Structure 1
Amino acid sequence: MLTDTKIRSLKPREKPYRIADHNGLCIEIRQSGSKLWRYRYRFDGKASMLSLGEYPAVSLSDARKARDEARALLSDGKNPAQIRKTEKIEASIQNANTFELVAKEYITEILKDRSSGYLNKITKSLEIDIYPIIGSKNVSEVSAAEVLYIARSTVSRVRTTGKRGTGEITALNNIKIIGAVMRYAIATLRAENDPTYAVRGSIIRPDIEHARPLTKEEQSHFRKGLDSFRGSATVRNALLTMAYTMLRSVEIRRMKWSYIDFESRVINFPISTRNNSQERTTKKNRIHLVPMSEQLYALLKQQYIESGNKEYVFPAVYSGGDSNPIGGATLNAALKNMGLKAVTAHDFRATASTILNELDFDENWIEKQLAHAEQNKVRASYNHAKYMNQRRDMLQQWADIVDGWKE
């Protein structure tokens, strides 16, 4: 039988050779000097050999233990080499089904038509908060406890790094992302349960800060501030367009020159812009019409000089301006830089609605211009031009009111 002293004394020869231990265990000395453990056995009458590792990483006692385990398999009628092969295949499958790999596949297969901005947001959340915890774990083994840990850690990270908000919204979005990946894993037969269901209600969504009208002081600050605005002309014009039109900030950002009809003095928004952030709809189903006031007409003519050769009316200022609109946070950031720290882009719609209702403009005209959802979907598809003359007059008076804020 072998001993450690004897094994260490074994020297390489011109050809590999083996020295037996006991019950089929032997050590193979190669020309390079490496020493490998082998277990020789017979299964179904055929001679076979199983590698047990390299000495001294695998000690003599460990090699004998591995041999005994192989002998036990043989006693149960199992082929140790086949069991080893099966284990390797299972390990390979396990490694191929990590949460990170499944998440990347989900993005490639399911989210392939989403915008680059949306995909970047998802990827950033995965890389910052999710992958470090469960990225290398088999997707079928992700637990509710780990999801809860990720959610609570996200809240803590957002709060301690001084990011905007308290972190609950980011945490809830991370749970939503994990859930989407898990349901894809279930659909592709790589997991059986979605652990995010167990943690529903663990993070409370903060109260929504609803839009509110600007105060008199804020109205004046805004309109006077635009005359001395230090940012780009594109951002200034976008802010003033928002004030004149009662449009949502996303509609301002995604407004394209193809929507602008200078001859008819109307902005024609297709349904895809309002209801689908990815703008995958190609039919120009005109659903929201915005009559141009004199001020808006002149403003867009001025902006055409800035960006008329680009797709978007208000393109990104510093990068990607040829193919991307201004960023989602640009307008709110500009308001804060103007000193209006408590004002958001959405507040301008609330301001217009409040003031125009107080001036007894027809509620139907106001609602139509705000483009609030029509309950009757069929009727909505035909009513986009309703009250057009009244709305044109209303928006002209509204633009005059906005300009009057600086007096």
Structure 2
Amino acid sequence: MPLTDTVARNAKATDRAQKLTDEKGLYLLVHPNGSKYWRFKYHYLKLEKTLALGVYPEVSLKAAREKRDDARRMLADGIDPSEARKAAKARALQMAEDSFEAIAMEWAKRHLAARSESHRTRVIRRLEREVFPFLGKKPIASITAPDILAVLRKIETRGVLDTAHRTQQTIGTVIRYAVATGRAETDPTAALRGALPAYKSVHMAAHARKIFITPGAGLAPFQPMFR
């Protein structure tokens, strides 16, 4: 007889773990401490196996049945649901390890160590403020040129074009590091050449003004070749 939500809710703990059977391999395991866990018993390659489906009542009877049915569909396709879950967890872990933020911090630790503390702080703060909120959790190999351009446009609209260019340079450096270490295939920032308006830094502009105001400054006096 199928399990009902009332029976599951009112099940009392005993001195031994007890199983309240539903159907098609689903049951509720009630522990002596009163905790209740959904389990799905199945056979794969002639081996009896058990798949955890969550904790009751956080996972309702209806939701547990849906999870059981998903697992049964995998079995019908020749897939072991326990192994499929392990593979999914492994992929999620790998994606987290290969996220833009994780690789950027790895790059910073390796390649900014010899730079001044003020420089390291500026670069990391720029990443934390301008890039990580939008690209930080994405697998670095999946980041595209439009993804990066969207980030740069947000900076550009604030009127800080120099920051947009510096951010593009840093993103490109991090992705090229990922390419070199085998975690990305290409650097999409190469496709962004010319996507941002050109800018002249304050330092360059000041230097140009100095040269204009004092022509010949720093040059040796002209000496004629022949007398």
Q: Please give the TM-score of this superposition, normalised by the length of structure 2.
A: 0.86
* Residue 361, structure 1, aligned to residue 201, structure 2: no
CA distance in structure 1 between the aligned counterparts of 2:151 and 2:7, rounded to whole angstroms: 54
Residue 183 of structure 1 is aligned with which of 153, 176, 188?
176
Task: State the one-letter code of the partner of 1:354.
Answer: G
Where in structure 1 do 4 or more consecutive aligned residues deviate above 3 Å?
A: 207-212, 344-353
Closer, same or farther: CA 211–353 of 1 in aligned 2, 3 Å: farther
Alpha-carbon RMSD across the aligned residues, in angstroms, is 2.6
* Residue 197, structure 1, aligned to residue 190, structure 2: yes
Task: State the one-letter code of the partner of 2:216.
Answer: T
CA distance in structure 2 between the aligned counterparts of 1:210 and 1:47, rounded to whole angstroms: 72
Shift of 1:131: 1.1
SS at match of 1:22: coil
Closer, same or farther: CA 97–363 of 1 in aligned 2, 3 Å: farther
CA distance in structure 2 between the aligned counterparts of 1:16 and 1:96, rounded to whole angstroms: 39
CA distance in structure 1 between the aligned counterparts of 2:188 and 2:218, rounded to whole angstroms: 49
Q: Is the 8 A contact 1:211 1:350 kept in 2?
A: no
| CA deviations over 1:52-110 (Å, ceiling 9, x no partner) | 11122222222112112212222233221111111111111111122111001111223
Asked which structure has the greater CA Rg, the reply is: 1
Instruction: Name 1:86's counterpart in structure 2.
Output: 87
Closer, same or farther: CA 57–354 of 1 in aligned 2, 3 Å: same
CA distance in structure 2 between the aligned counterparts of 1:53 and 1:135, rounded to whole angstroms: 30
Closer, same or farther: CA 363–15 of 1 in aligned 2, 3 Å: farther
CA distance in structure 2 between the aligned counterparts of 1:207 and 1:107, rounded to whole angstroms: 27
Segment of structure 1 superposing worse, 106-115 or 46-55: 106-115
SS at match of 2:54: strand
SS at match of 2:157: helix
Shift of 1:141: 2.4
| CA deviations over 1:276-314 (Å, ceiling 9, x no partner) | xxxxxxxxxxxxxxxxxxxxxxxxxxxxxxxxxxxxxxx
Task: State the one-letter code of the partner of 2:100.
Answer: F
Instruction: Name 1:121's counterpart in structure 2.
Output: 122
Instruction: Name 1:174's counterpart in structure 2.
Output: 167
| CA deviations over 1:226-275 (Å, ceiling 9, x no partner) | xxxxxxxxxxxxxxxxxxxxxxxxxxxxxxxxxxxxxxxxxxxxxxxxxx
CA distance in structure 2 between the aligned counterparts of 1:62 and 1:363, rounded to whole angstroms: 92
SS at match of 1:354: coil
Shift of 1:136: 2.0
CA distance in structure 1 between the aligned counterparts of 2:140 and 2:133, rounded to whole angstroms: 14
SS at match of 1:42: strand
Closer, same or farther: CA 211–17 of 1 in aligned 2, 3 Å: closer
CA distance in structure 1 between the aligned counterparts of 2:212 and 2:56, rounded to whole angstroms: 77
> 5+ unaligned residues in a row in structure 2: which ranges?
none
What is the aligned residue count? 223
The equivalences for 1:5-44 within 5 A come to: 5-44=6-45
Q: Is the 8 A contact 2:18 2:31 kept in 1?
A: yes
Counting aligned pairs with the same residue, the percent is: 33
Q: Please give the TM-score of this superposition, normalised by the length of structure 1.
A: 0.50
Shift of 1:181: 0.9
Shift of 1:22: 0.7
> 5+ unaligned residues in a row in structure 1: which ranges?
160-166, 213-343, 365-407
Q: Is the 8 A contact 2:211 2:217 kept in 1?
A: no
Shift of 1:198: 3.2
